[in-house]
Amino acid sequence: MMVRFGMLTGNVIIDCALLAWFLAQLIKVILELVLLRRFDVKRFVSSGGMPSSHSALVVAAATAIGRLYGFDGPAFALAAVLSAVVMYDACNVRRSAGDTARLVNQLLEHVEKLTAEDFADDLKIIMGHTPLQVAAGALLGLGIGLLA
């Protein structure tokens, strides 16, 4: 069966990016089901985890641009640079924010006057990715983008 990109949005590049994102999110749900024996449908739209859907999305778009318009053109150059920024952010900045949220949540559990119950929700801990999760997402995106 031949994959027909452009059928969903009318844009091959956006369809490749969306497919890569969708598959990355689906893989997260399946991995949680297999490894933790837990089915959590919210996992399908949450950030963090293996593989990085952010990396899959941007690399699929960049690769599709390269395949369709050339890897030596300005469109691919811009897409590649923006992909690098997104992957750096996913691996470093957002991961640090997740680590900070984990520490704040632990502090709240030990403060005498304030407890975690004083707040509506704990801070979101799973925000970023490990380098392996980013690489896996990038490889998924590369594979999808090459189908363009």
Mean pLDDT of 9-27: 93
pTM of the model: 0.70
Q: Give the pLDDT band of residue 123 (cuts 50, 70, 90).
A: low
- The rounded distance, in Å, linking the Cα atoms of 51 and 42 is 16
- Decide if 64 contacts 98 (C-beta within 8 A): no
* Tokens read off for 85: 């920024």
* Tokens read off for 98: 């997740």
Q: Give the pLDDT band of residue 1 (cuts 50, 70, 90).
A: very low
* Tokens read off for 77: 């150059």
Mean pLDDT of 84-97: 79
Instruction: Tell me the domain boundaries of the chain.
Output: 12-145
Does residue 120 surpass a pLDDT of 80?
A: no
In the chain, alpha helices (H): 12-36, 53-69, 74-88, 94-110, 131-145
- Decide if 14 contacts 57 (C-beta within 8 A): no
